[in-house]
Chain A
């Protein structure tokens, strides 16, 4: 459990107060059971998220990067208590939401919202755009019909959708427009914290820039805090203030953006960064690309010791037997690796 005393955030603080964590996560675990056989016996579990601890400061954008399947979406969903957590404590805006259920949790929903990865799947095909954006208002406000319609219009303006789209259905839109619908829905209740689950992954490059700019503008205007999930390191570099690197259900490194891109601590971060194409040819010529061998191990059967030991170019004996601890390296940098001193 979190040490609640002293961490309560006073109401009415300024949005630029960088030192107040809006979201605190302690030892978050999310295991999905695996059932097999005719009797559906529980034969194991997928350790999609395995012991994460981090804070997200008010007004910042925490980038979360990692390969496909490493558990990024699961982190985002678990943070909003959309799953029954295996373990862990989550505090959002001073409320411990990991233990709340039902109506109490429902009342806190407006504070935290999510923008989903799959623009097509996250919008009900049988609802009009207007009613999709109005759903949060239906659930949490008692606005009259005309007020609601006006508010939906404002939201559509804010995300750059023409108001007359309100009566159309999601399939009539492009991917970028659909993502804007998702953003408008997430904004409807004036949330403080938004989990952006790869909001741009499904979009083509020119539209990616539009959506990212929109997210940035909204953050500036509304003082939003983002957890920005992506596998695109250059996009994260553009957006994030701090970056968490995930591998196989664990965060291996968490550093301020510039420090991480300048001098990565963890070998996995190093490998990821070396794979990012850079525009400046001088640097591109000198950098040595680290190519990881092998496949990511299954999250249902992670290796003993360090999760990364099967693919790490710098692997030592100790890595195969002992799990590295999460250590503070100063200047807000954290990593879990035996080889850093």
Chain B
């Protein structure tokens, strides 16, 4: 390496991370696609000003045309407008539910792996959650809390909070298990002992030494989590437990379209494509981030 700065102040951690990230082609394409989707669903509706709820039964089940770029559904609603609007919710659900599940999973995994006393109870809790019959549980939770939350935050925000927290609370277990396993291995490494000999307290040993070294599995969980959350939301909506039927999400559109697949196959293609592209781009971003955050890969 040829850095001429005497004190080496020219290199910053995030600068290095970005330098490495840039060299990962997949990550760059993934970022571009993700940003494009984000832009489309959040700003698109301001450009393409068609009301996704506007019914026009005379143009039902149409294929793509100049008036309706992606065609219409069985009630004559514009598909493009629905996909754009639905994306907002799906993206928000995916990202926020992933964040919740990641936070819970990482916390549980770190604590269980690091503190021997907590290992037993926390892992039994994890097993318990894994063994819970999810669907009946969801039904009960939604029945119990839907109306209170609707009353507090309005029908859509209430359901959004409910769905996001339910998905988050029921999908952290795999992250927790993977993180715990990795923590168990990392905490036996000598640099943790070195930190102890310095007198670094446990919480900082975890944050400074353990967490950065278990980032890879967390990244992988995160990227899978987004996909998982979007798809779970679709399934919930399909069961009538999620958002109301006149409120489009990608999952909703997909399942509604499934009934008309023989008539207008494009109706499942568009939301399906949107979900796949989001998931794929997030995966590539995760891949690039994981590499960029590892100093041993960085700079190669």
Contacts and interface: CB of A to CB of B under 8 A. Distances in A.
Interface in A163-219: 163-169, 171-172, 182, 185, 189
A118 B213 contact: no
A163 B190 contact: no
Contact of A139 (B189, B199, B209, B212): B199
Contact of B200 (A77, A113, A139, A164): A139
Contacts of A167: 3, 8-9, 11
Contact of A121 (B6, B13, B191, B201): B191
10 contacts: A110-B199, A118-B190, A121-B189, A124-B209, A126-B294, A135-B200, A164-B7, A164-B8, A167-B9, A182-B194
Interface string B105-130: 00000000000000000000000000
B216 to A, nearest CB: 11
A308 to B, nearest CB: 30
B65 interface: no
B197 A169 contact: no
A117 B295 CA distance: 23
Interface string A47-81: 00000000000000000000000000000010010
A80 B212 CA distance: 26
Given A165-B8, A166-B7, 12 more contacts: A106-B201, A109-B198, A122-B194, A123-B191, A123-B194, A124-B209, A125-B295, A126-B212, A127-B208, A140-B198, A166-B8, A185-B194
Max chain A Cβ within 10 angstroms of own Cβ: one of B191, B212, B293, B299:
B191
A82 B191 CA distance: 12
B262 interface: no
Contacts of B193: 77, 82, 116, 122
A136 interface: yes
**Which of A80, A135, A163 is most buried by chain B, counting CB atoms within 10 A of its CB?**
A135
Interface in B3-24: 3, 5-9, 11, 13
Contacts of B191: 121-124
Contacts of B295: 125-126, 169, 171
A66 to B, nearest CB: 20
Nearest to A182: B194
Interface of A: 77, 80, 82, 105-107, 109-110, 112-114, 116-118, 121-128, 130, 135-136, 139-140, 149, 153, 163-169, 171-172, 182, 185, 189
Most chain B beta-carbon neighbours within 10 Å: one of A80, A110, A125, A189: A125
Contact of A116 (B190, B209, B213, B293): B190
Q: Which 7 A-B pairs have the closest CB atoms?
A: A109-B199, A167-B8, A169-B295, A121-B190, A106-B199, A122-B190, A126-B212
Nearest to A102: B201
A149 B7 contact: yes
Nearest to B209: A124
B7 A124 contact: no
B196 interface: yes
A139 B207 CA distance: 14
A82 B5 contact: no
